[in-house]
Amino acid sequence: MTTIQTEGKRSTGRKDADKQPAVERPEALVKRLDELITLHRKLVSAGEEFSDAVKATAEDSGMLAKNVRSFVLARAGERFVEKKREVAQLALLFEEIGE
């Protein structure tokens, strides 16, 4: 009989409030599986639509798609001020130091 060494390996899986392995209930997944698959398909579709809209906007505005996407993500999220500061610093470096 072979023994498997497990020392140093972390256990996987969810834990309950007492840090004990949670009781697995596959029926909870089966119950919501159709909903999860539908949501995933919507997510993929929305990602494709967003990408197409960014490309079209970049083309119309003459901007790089990467910059349009970055700006929209910063504006839509909570990192707008942080991103604005990063861009200002980068612009300063290009202006002050140049090539």
Q: Is 35 a domain residue?
A: yes
Q: Is 38 a domain residue?
A: yes
* 23/14 Cα distance (integer angstroms): 9
What pTM, to 2 d.p., does this model score? 0.65
Beta bridge partners of 21: 15
| Per-residue pLDDT at 7 | 58
Residues 56-69 have pLDDT tens digits of: 999 999 999 999 99
| Per-residue pLDDT at 11 | 57
Q: Is 15 a domain residue?
A: no
Q: How many domains does the chain have?
A: 1
What SS3 state is found at 21? strand
Look up the domain containing 53 and give its range: 30-96
Our separate counts of H helices and E strands in the chain read 3, 0
pLDDT band at 8 (very low <50, low <70, confident <90, very high): low
Kindly list the distances between the CA atom of residue 29 and the CA atoms of 25, 32, 59, 69, in Å, as whole numbers in the listed order.
8, 5, 43, 34
